[in-house]
């Protein structure tokens, strides 16, 4: 029995885990749970009440998106080759997730127009600042964040640029590009050109989020 990843029929918080499966070519079940199924009984299976969930070979179920993605990264050798590399990858992942993506999502989902405009401005500034910092301080390899090669931090960055930034650029003119950050662009392109990733991007269900 292989691993089962459960999530709504969305990219969202599960896509980083799906990208890890895609990149490594590891087999898994990509189980997509509708809101109705979720409410009707699936929710009760989640240890902390949310999705994504991962069902392991032995039947244990775990939740929390980044915990799951890090588990897969460790299991499939994409977490870093030493404690310090794992710290470096975690640092980059948290900068992307907590600092960049979260500030965009905050603006994206705000309903009050005045606040939305203010949040969008803050998000844009935060993202541009963080892209500069990542470019300057965090790229240790040749087209990879880690000196040792591709890690889940690269996949997380690709996920952010591919699945989050376009929403922000279209809906709030965020204008986020990698034109001024060639090292980050190289990381993005290296993931994008990977044959396994290409195959997944073509094959994956098309969803807005």
Asked if 3 touches a copy of itself (CB under 8 A), the answer is: no
Asked if 18 touches a copy of itself (CB under 8 A), the answer is: no
Q: How far is the CB of 22 from a copy of itself (least distance, A)?
A: 20
Q: How many CB atoms lie within 10 A of CB 50?
A: 14
Which range touches a copy of itself (CB under 8 A), out of 2-10, 129-137, 178-186, 195-203? 129-137
57: Cβ contacts below 8 Å, ≥ 6 apart: 1, 2, 3
Please identify which residue in 105, 130, 167, 186 interacts with a copy of itself, judged by CB under 8 A: 130
Please identify which residue in 2, 137, 177, 192 interacts with a copy of itself, judged by CB under 8 A: 137
Asked if 117 touches a copy of itself (CB under 8 A), the answer is: no
Handedness of CA 125, 115, 35, 168 (dihedral sign): negative
93: helix, coil or strand?
helix
Q: How many CB atoms lie within 10 A of CB 198?
A: 13
Asked if 90 touches a copy of itself (CB under 8 A), the answer is: yes
Residue placing its CB nearer to a copy of itself in the complex, 96 or 161: 96
Give dist(CA 62, CA 55) in Å, integer: 7
Task: Determine contact, residues 20/152, Cβ cutoff 8 Å.
Answer: yes
Query: Residue 176 phi/psi, 5° resolution?
Result: -80, 125
Asked if 75 touches a copy of itself (CB under 8 A), the answer is: yes
Asked if 47 touches a copy of itself (CB under 8 A), the answer is: yes
Q: How far is the CB of 201 from a copy of itself (least distance, A)?
A: 27
Which range touches a copy of itself (CB under 8 A), out of 20-28, 32-40, 86-94, 156-164? 86-94
Give dist(CA 70, CA 65) in Å, integer: 9
Please identify which residue in 26, 29, 84, 125 interacts with a copy of itself, judged by CB under 8 A: 84
Handedness of CA 187, 205, 4, 46 (dihedral sign): positive
154 HSE (CA, 13 A, CB side): 31
Residue placing its CB nearer to a copy of itself in the complex, 3 or 197: 3
Asked if 142 touches a copy of itself (CB under 8 A), the answer is: no
Binding residues for a copy of itself, per CB under 8 A? Answer: 47-50, 54, 56, 60, 62-68, 70-71, 74-75, 83-84, 86-88, 90-95, 98-99, 129-130, 133-134, 137-138
């Amino acid at each position: 029995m292989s691993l089962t990843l459960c999530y709504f029929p969305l990219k969202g918080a599960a896509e980083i885990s799906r990208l890890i499966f895609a990149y490594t070519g590891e087999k898994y079940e990509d189980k997509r749970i509708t809101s109705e199924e979720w409410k009707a009984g699936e929710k009760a299976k989640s240890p902390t009440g949310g999705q994504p969930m991962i069902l392991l070979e032995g039947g244990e179920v775990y939740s929390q998106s980044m915990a799951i993605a890090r588990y897969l990264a460790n299991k499939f050798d994409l977490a870093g080759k030493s404690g310090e590399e794992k710290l470096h990858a975690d640092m980059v992942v948290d900068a992307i997730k907590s600092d960049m993506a979260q500030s965009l999502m905050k603006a994206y989902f705000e309903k009050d127009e005045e606040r939305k405009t203010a949040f969008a401005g803050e998000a844009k500034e935060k993202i541009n600042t963080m892209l500069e910092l990542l470019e300057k301080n965090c790229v240790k390899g040749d087209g990879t964040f880690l000196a040792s090669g591709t890690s889940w931090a690269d996949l997380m960055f690709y996920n952010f640029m591919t699945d989050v930034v376009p929403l922000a650029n279209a809906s709030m003119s965020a204008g986020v590009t990698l034109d001024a950050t060639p090292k980050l662009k190289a990381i993005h392109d290296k993931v994008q050109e990977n044959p396994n990733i290409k195959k997944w991007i073509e094959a994956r269900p098309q969803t807005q989020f």
